[in-house]
Amino acid sequence: MKPLTLIALGLCALQAAAAPYVPASGAQVIETLPRRSDPGQQELLRMRARLAANPKDPATAAALARRYIAIGRGASDPRYNGYAQAALAPWWTQPAPPTEVRILRATLNQSTHRYAEALADLEAVTKAAPGEPQAWLTRATVQTVVGDYGGATASCARLSSLADELVATTCLANTASITGRLAPSIRLLDAIHLRGAGAPAELRAWSLTLLAELCERHGDAAGAEARYRQALAISPDDGYLLGAYADFLLVQERPREVTALLRDHGRVDPLLLRHALALKLGGESPAQLADARRELAARFDAALRRGDSVHQREQARYELHLRGDTAAALALAKKNWAVQKEPADARLLLEAALAARDIAAARPVLRWMADTGFEDRQAAALAARLGKAS
């Protein structure tokens, strides 16, 4: 079985900030750069030198791109996705680049919600090189996001003979949990983790994050928190994990823990949003909240002017909870649902429809819940409130 060098799930959390940050004064520390003597930075320098010496070698470029993506995920720094794309620049627009480049192009397109482009590349790779486990995993991830659960299940099944048991099981559990098998998915992942301690750290953190989310959807707050903390102990700066745990803490009404968790991650839009939501919930730092709101407004405005729709989920939450513009929030939530159908997207559209008192707007999600057998305590509570309001 081939080891995976890149995790596809969760990369959507790493989006570039949409507007430059302007410090309040020249004395303000914006960022502490890594030391050039750091072993990781030394390795990057060597990899860049190898690519500079042979810029047309796809294997060298792909290795550097994978390294950039891994660093960006580990440091919750979205800029590294851009560095990865730059490393692949000679092949980026080619209709049929080398396999390793094509997989990475699909992964980066997935992270910016270019799902059709990602699936086109992955379809080509799985036909030409069916033994590539990363292609099947990324394909299953995208298929789940867009609501192709049959396709996702088939893609996950192909992993059983190509990747670690933990990878194949987590892939299947992700899809099964949405299609009416939430409790069995939790039990299966728990069993795998009991005997999967030897799996690579990044795989365990990814799988534990999903397990925490499933426990949360099942209403097991204690189980969810335990898994989130296990994952954070392995990968403390993972952007997707930080956002998921912050959302859990917000639901639990523990805003101070959110602000402490996200204090140093304001560069990433989704994490800045959650920091602002925690400041509002805590009600203790109005000046910081005002600064965060202004920064988010600038970033969303810049994204709108660029025609960037990646942040629709975050912008809908911003409009709903920080600006109180329910009409704008609902419009964004509906556009977001048309693109991706993850549990968070379903909850968002239900919440926005309820706030706007537009029951009809919630019907696509309500039908989706009924058709798939989707289980989620928060979504079920929102659906019940919508039923009472109709």
- Enumerate the CATH 1.25.40.10 domain ranges in the chain, comma separated: 1-14+40-163, 164-252
SS (H, E, C) the chain: CCCCCCCCCCHHHCCCCCCCCCCCCCCCCCCCCCCCCCHHHHHHHHHHHHHHHCCCCHHHHHHHHHHHHHHHHHHCCCHHHHHHHHHCHHHCCCCCCCHHHHHHHHHHHHHCCCHHHHHHHHHHHHHHCCCCHHHHHHHHHHHHHHCCHHHHHHHHHHHCCCCCHHHHHHHHHHHHCCCCCHHHHHHHHHHHHHCCCCCCHHHHHHHHHHHHHHHHHCCCHHHHHHHHHHHHHHCCCCHHHHHHHHHHHHHCCCHHHHHHHHCCCCCCHHHHHHHHHHHHHHCCCHHHHHHHHHHHHHHHHHHHHHCCCCCHHHHHHHHHHHHCCHHHHHHHHHHHHHHCCCHHHHHHHHHHHHHHCCHHHHHHHHHHHHHHCCCCHHHHHHHHHHHHHC
* CATH number of the 164-252 domain: 1.25.40.10
Which residue from 123, 137, 185 is spatially nearest to 7, judged by alpha carbons?
Answer: 137
pLDDT recorded at residue 190: 95
pLDDT recorded at residue 17: 39
String of b and e for 162-182 (b: at least 16 CB within 10 Å)? bbbebbbbbbbbbbbbbbebb
Cβ atoms < 10 Å from Cβ of 141: 28
Per-residue pLDDT at 18 exceeds 70: no
Residue 303 confidence class, pLDDT cut points 50, 70, 90:
confident
Cβ atoms < 10 Å from Cβ of 74: 17
Residue 211 confidence class, pLDDT cut points 50, 70, 90:
very high
Residue 42 confidence class, pLDDT cut points 50, 70, 90:
confident
Q: What is the mean pLDDT of residues 204-230?
A: 97
> Taking the model in full, what pTM does it have?
0.90
pLDDT tens digit sequence for 262-285: 999 998 999 999 999 999 999 989
- Which residues, 6 or more positions from 320, have their beta carbon under 8 angstroms from its beta carbon? 326, 329, 333, 351, 352, 355
Cβ atoms < 10 Å from Cβ of 34: 12
pLDDT > 70 in the chain, percent: 89
pLDDT recorded at residue 27: 46
Residue 77 confidence class, pLDDT cut points 50, 70, 90:
confident
Whose structure tokens read 């707007």? Answer: 361
Which residue from 244, 271, 269 is spatially nearest to 259, judged by alpha carbons?
Answer: 271
Q: What is the mean pLDDT of residues 36-41?
A: 66
pLDDT tens digit sequence for 357-371: 999 999 999 999 999
Per-residue pLDDT at 314 exceeds 70: yes
Superfamily for 1-14+40-163? Answer: Tetratricopeptide repeat domain (1.25.40.10)
